[in-house]
Amino acid sequence: MHRFARKKLFLSYLCTKNFHNMQDILEYAKKNGISSTTTRRDLKQIEQEGIIELFYGGVNFIGLKNQIKDKEELVTNFDKKIIIAQKAETYLQQNDFIFVGSGSTCELFVSRISRPVKVITNSYRILNLLEQNPNINYIILVGGKWNKNRASFYGSFCEESLGLINFTKVFFSASHVDHKGNIYKTNEEEARVELAALAKVQTKIALIDSTKIGKQGFYQFYHLDNLTSLITDNPDSIKKKTLAKINII
């Protein structure tokens, strides 16, 4: 079982009450085919994210709202996102220097990178996952103004910094794509950073699951026709929902 899927199981169990006996947690994990060693390691990771506190013999659930919201975003359509992440990884070449934007699909993507590459990002969550991946041989986190809810940097300093660095590919996600091929983000600040990155490269790859296609979003910032590729979980269904003529994988 993938570690993000395990987190979904643990969070759904832990959020039911404020305190859990460790033995009960281990029994719950065992029923779901998760070993005690893996359970303790996952709980330690969740504690580092500020969602729980570990005590001798038990766990205290804190449940910070923003973090739980992020975990829910990560596990929503998890099966679709993991398909996209697997496909996206095949578009990497050894020693590529790529920009990766924020978002749960991008998080799954960087966790699966299996060849040596260099990565630049404005996302602190992406940074944490990159640090855990031994195949990442060079990391740049661009700074700027801090968005606490998204755990990412934005603003003119961030955008200008991207203009000074020579990377060759951009991988990003989006909240919606309408039938005309317009791409939307939920956050304008985040969109502006990704626009700055997209302006630097010729290889532009969007990672978007099929549930987001054929719908309008909040902030329109790009168009499918300007992409190199759209990587998704169900290419055939998306080709029926959009008029854009690009490489849909």
Q: What is the pLDDT of residues 83-96, one digit of tens each?
A: 999 999 999 999 99
DSSP at 210: G
Q: Is the pLDDT of residue 35 over 80?
A: yes
DSSP at 79: H
Whether the Cβ atoms of residue 34 and residue 6 lie closer than 8 Å to each other: yes
Buried-exposed string 74-83: b where 16+ CB fall within 10 A, e elsewhere: bbebbebbbb
More confident residue, 62 or 28: 28
What mean pLDDT, rounded, does the chain reach? 88
In this prediction, residue 244 has a pLDDT band, given cuts at 50, 70 and 90, of low
| Mean pLDDT, range 165-173, rounded to an integer | 97
Whether the Cβ atoms of residue 17 and residue 54 lie closer than 8 Å to each other: no
- Reported as a single tens digit per residue, the pLDDT across 229-239 is 999 999 887 77
Got the DSSP string for 103-161?
Answer: SHHHHHHHHT--S-EEEEESBHHHHHHHHH-TTEEEEEE--SEEETTTTEEESHHHHHH
Residue 120: the pLDDT is: 98
**N- to C-terminal Cα distance for the chain?**
25
Give percent of the chain above pLDDT 90. Answer: 60
Q: Is the pLDDT of residue 203 over 90?
A: yes
- Sorted by where each begins, the domain ranges of the chain are 3-72, 77-248
- Reported as a single tens digit per residue, the pLDDT across 119-161 is 999 999 899 889 888 899 999 999 999 998 888 999 999 999 9
φ/ψ of 56, rounded to 5, equals -65, 115
Q: Is the pLDDT of residue 67 over 60?
A: no
Nearest to 43 by CA among 30, 33, 31, 29: 29
Q: Is the pLDDT of residue 110 over 50?
A: yes
| Mean pLDDT, range 167-181, rounded to an integer | 95
| CATH number for the domain whose boundaries are 3-72 | 1.10.10
Give percent of the chain above pLDDT 70. Answer: 93
Whether the Cβ atoms of residue 205 and residue 231 lie closer than 8 Å to each other: yes
Q: Is the pLDDT of residue 66 over 60?
A: no
Task: State how far the Cα of 174 lies from the Cα of 103, in Å rounded to an integer.
Answer: 8
Identify the H or E element spanning 31.
Answer: helix 22-31
| CATH number for the domain whose boundaries are 77-248 | 3.40.50.1360
In this prediction, residue 40 has a pLDDT band, given cuts at 50, 70 and 90, of very high
Q: Is the pLDDT of residue 68 over 60?
A: no
